[in-house]
Amino acid sequence: MFIIINYTFPFSLIDAENFIPANPIVTPVHIRPQYFLFSYAILRAILNKLGGVKALLLSILMLIPLILQPSIKQFNKENQKSMFF
């Protein structure tokens, strides 16, 4: 279903702000950087400011065990070949 919609109406799933012509002289009033959306959602979900900051730090610290896992870093040649075929 997604493929049918995507090929018949390709611009129906795109944000409407992408169709506004760019003005290189004026800076846009509303800039939404995509890399802040997760932190904004966390801070907005928790009413207490200190609790929101703690939740934000906890969400970032939860990624550290994923980085330090040794099984992700160790790929031998056999695993790399089997991943492609």
**What pTM, to 2 d.p., does this model score?**
0.46
HSE-up (13 A, CA, CB side) for residue 6: 3
Q: Are 56 and 42 in contact (CB under 8 A)?
A: yes
Q: How far apart are the first and last CA of the chain?
A: 28
Q: Are 85 and 68 in contact (CB under 8 A)?
A: no
pLDDT digits over 12-68, tens only? 777 777 788 888 887 676 666 777 788 888 989 999 999 999 999 999 999 888 887
Q: Are 26 and 19 in contact (CB under 8 A)?
A: no
- Give the separation between CA 55 and CA 42, rounded to whole angstroms: 7
